[in-house]
Amino acid sequence: MPELPDVEIYKIYMNSTSLHQKIENAEVLEPSLLGQVSSRSLQMRLKNREFEEVRRHGKYLFSKMDKNEWLILHFGMTGFLKYYKNEEQAPGHIRLLIHFDNGYHLAYDCQRKLGLIDLTANPKDFIEKKKLGIDPFGPDFNQSKFRELLNGRRGAIKSALMNQQIMAGIGNIYSDEILFHAGIHPASPVKKLKEADFEKIYREISTVLQTAIDCRVNPDNFPNDYLLPNRREKEDCPQCGGTIQKETISGRSAYFCSRHQKKI
């Protein structure tokens, strides 16, 4: 699940639960998720500090402590956060556990261990090192920038949307959703798209991601004409009465409507 909208919700969650509270101590329960920092060092550096601010870039979450140190979290395919007091509310696959001095805990849970826990002095350096592209909600993202980023690309539009080095934050689910609303087949080669197609896709990137955030990424809250709650093969298209199809595109399952997303 954790694509841009999910991580944005985690940011809001952490902002409303975990800021300005002293960290009594922290436990690394799965050292294989650590990046540069060692388990011991991370625990020492979290102890007696507090979080002051939370930012997001693409699918990465950055939590600022004092002295220019930021905790980096990436959620892989199954990561999420849980703030709780009583043990019985603890989730089942905690990989990092932060204990606050008010008796509450913040758990980073990641069943499939494909996430990342790290520290950095500056999110910008980390973003550059990872070669992450622009965030679709960043100040410099606009239609001409989008057009420029896709110019000269080979390959399918879905792959380009999912390419974190072009734009950061869109994954398999939301690339499908964006193309579904733009009415464009996910396998369409970028170089065959018309200007009007780029305009539509650009518009839908903001609309779809913002809608998902407004729905708090809960499938029950999505508008009726969204693919996400019915993203299954053979399902009826929620827009046109067509049928949802599945096709593998750059190694991932793409779902789309065979009627209103015609192959180019």
Partner DNA sequence: AATATTGTTCAGCA
Partner DNA sequence: GTGCTGAACAATAT
Q: Supply the minimum distance, in Å, between the C-beta of residue 211 and DNA.
A: 17
DSSP string, 210-233: HHHHHTTT-GGGS-TT-SGGG-ST
Which of 18, 159 has the CB closer to DNA? 159
Nearest to 71 by CA among 97, 110, 102: 97
- Residue pair 60/74 in contact (Cβ under 8 Å)? The answer is yes
List the structure tokens of 8. Answer: 């944005």
Our CB check for DNA shows the closer of 74 and 181 to be: 74
- Closest to DNA by CB, 110 vs 182, is 110
3-class DSSP state of 81: strand
Question: Closer to DNA at the Cβ: 100 or 198?
Answer: 198
Between 19 and 29, CB nearer to DNA: 29
Contact 187, 156 (CB under 8 A): yes
Shortest distance, position 110 Cβ to DNA, whole Å:
9
Instruction: State the nearest-atom distance from the C-beta of 17 to DNA, in Å.
Output: 23
Q: 189 CB contacts (<8 Å, ≥6 apart)?
A: 154, 155, 156, 157, 264
DSSP state, residue 105: E
Closest by CA to 189, choosing from 200, 197, 178, is 197
In the bound complex, what is the minimum distance in angstroms from residue 161's beta carbon to DNA?
10
- The minimum distance between CB 23 and DNA, in angstroms, equals 26
CB of 90 to DNA, least distance (A): 15
The contacts of residue 48 (CB under 8 Å, 6+ apart) are 22, 23, 24
Structure tokens at 231: 């993203």
Task: Give contact residues for DNA (rule: CB under 7 A).
Answer: 1-3, 58-59, 74, 76-78, 93, 111-114, 130, 153-156, 159-160, 162-164, 171-173, 190, 246, 250-253
Nearer to DNA, 219 or 241 (CB): 219
